[in-house]
Amino acid sequence: MQPYSTYRKEGDYVYLSGQLPINLQTGEIVEGGIVEQTQQVMENIQSILQSLHLSMDSLVRMNLYLVNIEDISEVNPIYTRFFPNKLPSRVAVGVQALAKQSLIEIDGIAFCGLASS
């Protein structure tokens, strides 16, 4: 059993745990660099939200953790493709290391309001 939940719903908000670039079918970090890893993380977040009948537009806050903060220039184009209508507020920080030698981890907060849980 994992020592955390993938998400937790409290009131009108869903708090997403940090998501790594794990291929959900293999359970392994995706091969490639920051571009491939960012794409996978964002797809994983989208999948969690869809399971809750929410869209990416429900995200109001995102936190990005990057092993190399200079990678932000490669992360931004992929990240913004997932938000065609409105961008959530965001923090991007450089970190020394992430679990499973990942290059990126992202967590977030989604507003679910009247959506069912």
pLDDT digits 0-9 by tens, 68-82: 999 999 999 999 999
Number of H helices, E strands in the chain: 2, 5
Q: Rounded to 10 degrees, what is the CA torsion of 67, 73, 76, 78?
A: -90
What confidence tens digit (pLDDT) does each residue in 85-95 have? Answer: 999 999 999 99
Per DSSP, the three-state class of 79 is: helix
* pLDDT recorded at residue 40: 98
pLDDT at 51 over 90: yes
Beta-carbon neighbour count of residue 11 at 10 Å? 8
Supply angle C-alpha 102, 16, 5, rounded to 5: 90
Token readout for 48 is 């969690």
The answer for residues whose C-beta is within 8 angstroms of residue 91's C-beta and 6 or more apart is 62, 63, 64
* pLDDT recorded at residue 3: 77
